[in-house]
């Protein structure tokens, strides 16, 4: 009888211990990941509004994303799924990678989205923002965790300007600026421009990405009063002394500073989003054509290039 009671007591203790571990492991999330207004500064370490990109450096190493056929044109770190989403132009395919760039799968587009997709940004738990060469931005819906063949489609389209006067000099980058109690969520997009043509002008647009589709249309245009669209600053005037084109955009995790990439000038600029005032400059080397930029989960700057190269810059001051 004593041995039986001892055995029952031992089994009870094991069961209680197991339940305790289960309760400890399954904690409710404190952040509403379905809310695009949520701030993400708590999701990314080592990068805040006071960080300056001139503090960053590369160890010189680059690596290739071999799953992409060619023409890697943009990248975003998605804080909702903890994945890198890389965009291929002239095919509109999105490639998914984990934080260590292990390949997770790819997603193709359906519907009326221009094949020349140039920029990509996270938006919320089930959608992204994509910029196309035709100066149209899309909020697109997709299953970010799809295991096999899957597709994404446009929920809302935003025609931000007439088609570019010079071929292949339209929208090149897009980035979401998270909202907070002091400001609404906004999307920023950039027209590429070029120092090689006076008709190819750099432009930065901001617009409200939360517009919904109606029974009549899911398309908005710069000519519509319903689209809240502006140019917060003149890119040619404010940035023209440092760069001649824009090839990518991203915001710091707080949304206080905007990082602008140039492939012609091989520079990244950190600017005030409202004025374009330059706060910091990072000179780049090592990649053939700098096409996209994002901030990774540890606060690293991640740059991508055509021919599918990736280069990571880390904050050398934070490593000391």
The DSSP result for 186-244, as a single string, is EEEEEE---TT-TT---EEEEE-TT----SS-SEEETT-TTS-EE-SS-HHHHHTTT-S
At 144, the pLDDT band (50, 70, 90 cuts) reads confident
Identify whether 124 is part of a domain: yes
Alpha-carbon distance 122 to 146, whole Å?
Answer: 16
Q: Distance from CA of residue 181 to its chain's centroid? A: 22
Query: Which range marks the domain in which residue 78 is found?
Result: 35-315
Identify whether 12 is part of a domain: no
Alpha-carbon distance 59 to 304, whole Å?
Answer: 15
For position 34, what pLDDT does the model report? 42
Alpha-carbon distance 219 to 217, whole Å?
Answer: 5
Identify whether 80 is part of a domain: yes
Which residue in the block uniquely carries the two structure tokens 């519907």? 111
Identify whether 297 is part of a domain: yes
Identify whether 85 is part of a domain: yes
Question: What would the pLDDT profile of 260-284 be if each residue is shown by its tens digit?
Answer: 999 999 999 999 999 999 999 999 9
- Confirm whether pTM is higher than 0.95: no
For position 318, what pLDDT does the model report? 63
The candidate with the shortest Cα–Cα distance to 295, out of 255, 266, 265, 264, is: 255
Percent of the chain with pLDDT over 90: 63
For position 214, what pLDDT does the model report? 75
At 28, the pLDDT band (50, 70, 90 cuts) reads very low
Residues whose CB falls within 8 Å of the CB of residue 131, separated by 6 or more in sequence, listed in order: 74, 117, 118, 119, 120, 137, 171, 172, 173, 174, 189, 190
Question: What would the pLDDT profile of 159-193 be if each residue is shown by its tens digit?
Answer: 999 887 777 789 999 999 999 989 999 999 999 98
What CATH number did the domain enclosing 237 receive? 2.120.10
Determine the straight-line distance between the first and last CA of the chain, rounded to whole angstroms: 64
Identify whether 21 is part of a domain: no
Question: What would the pLDDT profile of 238-251 be if each residue is shown by its tens digit?
Answer: 999 999 999 999 99
Identify whether 23 is part of a domain: no
Alpha-carbon distance 171 to 129, whole Å?
Answer: 12
The total of structural domains in the chain comes to: 1
107: β partners: 94
Question: What would the pLDDT profile of 194-234 be if each residue is shown by its tens digit?
Answer: 877 888 899 999 999 998 887 667 899 998 888 989 999 99
Residue 281: in which H helix or E strand, if any? strand 278-283
Residues, the chain, total?
Answer: 320
Identify whether 26 is part of a domain: no
């Amino acid at each position: 009888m004593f041995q039986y009671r001892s055995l029952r007591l031992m089994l009870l203790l094991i069961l209680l211990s197991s339940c305790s571990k289960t309760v400890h492991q399954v904690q409710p999330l404190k952040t509403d990941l379905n809310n695009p207004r949520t701030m993400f500064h708590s999701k990314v370490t080592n990068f805040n509004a006071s960080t300056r990109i001139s503090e960053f450096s590369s160890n010189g190493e680059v690596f290739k994303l071999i799953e992409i056929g060619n023409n890697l044109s943009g990248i975003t770190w998605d804080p909702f799924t903890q994945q890198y989403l890389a965009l291929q132009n002239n095919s509109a395919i999105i490639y998914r990678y984990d934080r260590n760039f292990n390949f997770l799968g790819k997603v193709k587009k359906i519907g009326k989205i221009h094949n020349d997709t140039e920029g990509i940004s996270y938006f919320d738990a089930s959608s992204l923002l994509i910029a196309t060469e035709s100066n149209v931005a899309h909020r697109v819906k997709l299953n970010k965790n799809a295991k096999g063949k899957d597709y994404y489609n446009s929920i809302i389209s935003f025609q931000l300007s007439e088609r570019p006067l010079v071929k292949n000099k339209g929208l090149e980058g897009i980035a979401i600026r998270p909202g907070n109690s002091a400001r609404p969520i906004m999307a920023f997009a950039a027209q590429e421009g070029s120092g090689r043509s006076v008709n190819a002008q750099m432009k930065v647009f901001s617009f409200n990405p939360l517009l919904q589709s109606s029974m009549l249309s899911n398309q908005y245009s710069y000519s519509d009063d319903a689209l809240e669209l502006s140019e917060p600053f003149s890119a040619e005037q404010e940035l023209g002394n440092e760069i001649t084109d824009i090839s990518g955009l991203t915001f710091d995790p707080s949304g206080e500073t905007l990082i602008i990439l140039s492939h012609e000038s091989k520079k990244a600029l950190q600017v005030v989003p409202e004025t374009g005032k330059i706060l910091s400059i990072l000179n780049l080397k090592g990649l053939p054509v700098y096409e996209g930029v994002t901030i990774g989960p540890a606060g690293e700057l991640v740059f991508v290039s055509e021919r599918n190269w990736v280069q990571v810059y880390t904050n050398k001051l934070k490593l000391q």
